Amino acid sequence: MSKGTRTRQHIIARAATVFNTQGFAGTSMADLTRQTGIEKGGIYNHFPSKEALALAAFDYAVTLISQRMQEVMAQEERAIDRLYAITNVFRSVIDAPLVPGGCPLMNTAIEADDTSSALRERAQETMSSWLRLIGGTVKQGIANGELRPDTDPRMVATIMVAALEGAIMLSKLYDDSLYIHRAVEHLIEYLQSLAS
C-alpha to C-alpha distances, 60 to 12, 26, 119, nearest whole angstrom: 7, 19, 13
| 3-class SS of residue 2 | coil
The answer to whether 104 contacts a copy of itself (rule: CB under 8 A) is no
Min dist. Cβ of residue 2 to a copy of itself (A): 34
The answer to whether 174 contacts a copy of itself (rule: CB under 8 A) is yes
C-alpha to C-alpha distances, 3 to 49, 101, 157, 192, nearest whole angstrom: 21, 28, 42, 51
- Determine the angle formed by the axes of helices 153-174 and 178-193, rounding to 10 degrees: 160
The answer to whether 167 contacts a copy of itself (rule: CB under 8 A) is yes
Q: Which of 170, 188, 194, 195 binds a copy of itself (CB under 8 A)?
A: 170
CA distance 9 to 47: 12
The answer to whether 97 contacts a copy of itself (rule: CB under 8 A) is no
Instruction: Please give the single-letter amino acid code of residue 154.
Output: R
Q: Which of 129, 155, 192, 196 binds a copy of itself (CB under 8 A)?
A: 155
Min dist. Cβ of residue 185 to a copy of itself (A): 8
Nearest to 24 by CA among 51, 2, 1: 51
Segment near a copy of itself (CB under 8 A); pick from 6-14, 44-52, 91-99, 154-162: 154-162
CB closer to a copy of itself, 96 vs 155: 155
- In a 10 Å sphere around its CB, with 0-12 CB exposed, 13-18 middle and 19+ buried, how is residue 141 labelled? buried
Residue ranges that bind a copy of itself, judged by CB under 8 A? 21-26, 100-102, 106-107, 109-111, 113-114, 120, 123-124, 127, 154-155, 158-159, 161-167, 169-170, 172-174, 178-179, 182-183, 185-186, 190, 193
